[in-house]
Amino acid sequence: MVFASIVFLYYYLPLVLIAYFFAPHRAKNTVLLLASLFFYFYGEPVYLILMLIAAYSAYRHGLYIDKFRGRKYARLLLVSSLVVSIGLLVFFKYADFLLANINVLFNTNFARLNLVQPIGISFYTFQILSYTIEVYRDQVKVQKSFAKFLLYVSFFPQLIAGPIVRYTTVAADLESRTHSWVGFAGGVRRFIIGLAKKVLLANVLGELCSSFKMSDEKSVLFFWLYALAFTLQIYFDFSGYSDMAIGMGKFFGFRFPENFNYPYIAKSITEFWRRWHISLSTWFRDFLYIPLGGNRVSTPRWLFNVLVVWLATGLWHGAAWNFVVWGLAFACLLVLEKYFLRSFLSKLPPFLVHFYVIFCVMLSFFIFNAESINDALSSLQAMLGLAGLPLCSTETLYYLQSYAVVISAAVVGSTPLPKLAAEKLKSIKHGRLLINLAEPVVLTALLLIVTAYLVDGSFNPFLYFRF
């Protein structure tokens, strides 16, 4: 079940909200747990068992690690827990990729398993890993209740698309949390904005991307238009989902971490990754990069650490070589920035620095979204006018005109300008009153328009659904 669907918005969510707020205080976690298990069952009936096994394994390992704390068994138990969690992830997500590469490397003929990847396995596995590692490090108190631990793993707002919530972030909220008008209204605001980002911008830009892919009349300009549209689509798609997750967390009194901070205003790739998918990059920083030694090591070792982290980041996004290349491309850019580009970029006018970041990100998403490495290379060739395509075509101009407003809205929406404008308005006389009057109207109108789009259309993919 995706959040931006009629079933979720007008059947599942109202029922969960009613059941949650009418349930007695001590039954609220049970309501959320049952709702979350049903949510997962709805998407993957069979793989619910897999998630339960993964969660139970981590839960038991956590208990034993705590029990044997300070003894050598604790380390063994941590390793055992990691093997189970990562093993399940590797088996269900990477088995076919590994087999295909083994067949190529060793000229073998292992049959593919053709497993359907369980929804959200990358997200919940990383949450589980963070829990067991933090319990081992004694950074968090072990959870004695399996129900509460399972709720942490399976909580539906962040189950399928993150943000990757550390156990430490929600440990206190799992035990006790407060509900307030201000909290719920903040959640509504965040949820509807996320929903609008997803349905009104990401999905519409996705239609443009689909039109590009189906087009027989491509041009150089059309390739650039597609690159821009996909770059915006993936941001609004993913950040929209994160907004919805954070908003729904607030409905139920949970505080989730931010996952995006206007990544497209970054002035370097290093900064971009501090603003993009923050919960993933901080996860890799804390649980892989720093344990490997971080940057307090020799230069060759640091290069190795960066390579490992970005190889893992690439592979986390998908079991294919284009994701590996995508991750390694960022590793190269980060190294280049650290040793060569930083001083050069600091001397450039801001718009050129910005262009550099957007250009690199756009190209990276071309690789990200390519069906193969060859596909990515031929697309890059076409973008640079080396594929013998015309500069423009009737079809390109049509789509440029047709999507001009949506693209403009998306470009402005990817910057802090709307937020700054609202803050500026608040500071003038009667500005706050105006905003307070307009906000409920605008939010309700957005919800109805989103509903209209969902009722009318069936085009509603989610790019991060299988991660």
Partner 1 sequence: MNDTIKNKVVTLAFLLVLVGLFLLNLISPPQAISFSERRKLQQFPAFSFAKLVNRKWFKEFERYSLDQFFGREQLRQLKAVTVFHLFRQKDNNGIYFLNGHLFKMEYPLREQSVIKAAQKFNNIAQTYLQGMNVFYAIIPDKNYFAAAPNGYPALDYRRLVELMQQNIEKMQYIDLFSCLSLSDYYRTDLHWRQECLQPVVAQLAHSIGLPPTVAEVEYTTVVKYPFYGAYFGQAALPLAPEELIYLTNAAIEDAVVYYYDNKEYGKVYAAEKFGQIDSYDLFLSGAVALLTIENPQAHTDRELIIFRDSYGSSLAPLLLAGYRKITLVDLRYLAANKLGEFIEFKNQDVLFLYNTLILNHSEMLS
386-405 footprint of partner 1 as x/- string (CB under 8 A): --------xx-xx--xxxxx
From candidates 217, 258, 371, 423, binder to partner 1 by CB under 8 A: 217
**Cβ–Cβ < 8 Å for 276, 242:** no
Handedness of CA 322, 328, 334, 336 (dihedral sign): negative
Shorter beta-carbon distance to partner 1: residue 123 or 399: 399
Rg (CA), the chain: 23
Shorter beta-carbon distance to partner 1: residue 92 or 136: 92
Report, in Å, the least distance between residue 211 CB and partner 1.
10
CA dist 390 and 393 (Å) reads: 7
Report, in Å, the least distance between residue 36 CB and partner 1.
16
Q: Does the footprint of partner 1 cover residue 439 (CB under 8 A)? A: yes
Report, in Å, the least distance between residue 240 CB and partner 1.
17
Q: Does the footprint of partner 1 cover residue 103 (CB under 8 A)? A: no
317 flagged as catalytic: yes
Residue closest to 258 by CA, chosen among 274, 234, 236, 237: 274
Phi, psi angle pair for 371, to nearest 5°: -80, -20
From candidates 454, 462, 464, 467, binder to partner 1 by CB under 8 A: 454
- Burial (0-12, 13-18, 19+ Cβ within 10 Å), 4: buried
From candidates 210, 418, 436, 461, binder to partner 1 by CB under 8 A: 436
Shorter beta-carbon distance to partner 1: residue 188 or 329: 188
From candidates 4, 13, 220, 324, binder to partner 1 by CB under 8 A: 13
Residue closest to 177 by CA, chosen among 146, 155, 144, 192: 155
165-204 footprint of partner 1 as x/- string (CB under 8 A): ----------------xx-xxx-xx--x-----------x
Report, in Å, the least distance between residue 44 CB and partner 1.
8
Q: Does the footprint of partner 1 cover residue 7 (CB under 8 A)? A: yes
Shorter beta-carbon distance to partner 1: residue 424 or 432: 432
CA dist 180 and 169 (Å) reads: 19
Q: Which stretch, 7-15, 135-143, 263-271, 272-280, contacts partner 1 (CB under 8 A)?
A: 7-15
Q: Does the footprint of partner 1 cover residue 210 (CB under 8 A)? A: no
Report, in Å, the least distance between residue 215 CB and partner 1.
8
Among 25, 179, 317, 430, the active-site one is: 317
CA dist 464 and 460 (Å) reads: 12
Shorter beta-carbon distance to partner 1: residue 5 or 80: 5
Residue closest to 235 by CA, chosen among 268, 272, 269: 272
17-56 footprint of partner 1 as x/- string (CB under 8 A): xx-----------------------x--xx----------
Report, in Å, the least distance between residue 55 CB and partner 1.
21
For partner 1 (CB under 8 A), the number of binding residues is: 56
User: Which residue numbers are catalytic?
Assistant: 317
Residues that bind partner 1 (CB under 8 A): 1, 5-7, 9-11, 13-15, 17-18, 42, 45-46, 181-182, 184-186, 188-189, 192, 204, 215-217, 394-395, 397-398, 401-406, 409, 433, 436-437, 439-440, 443-444, 447-449, 451-458
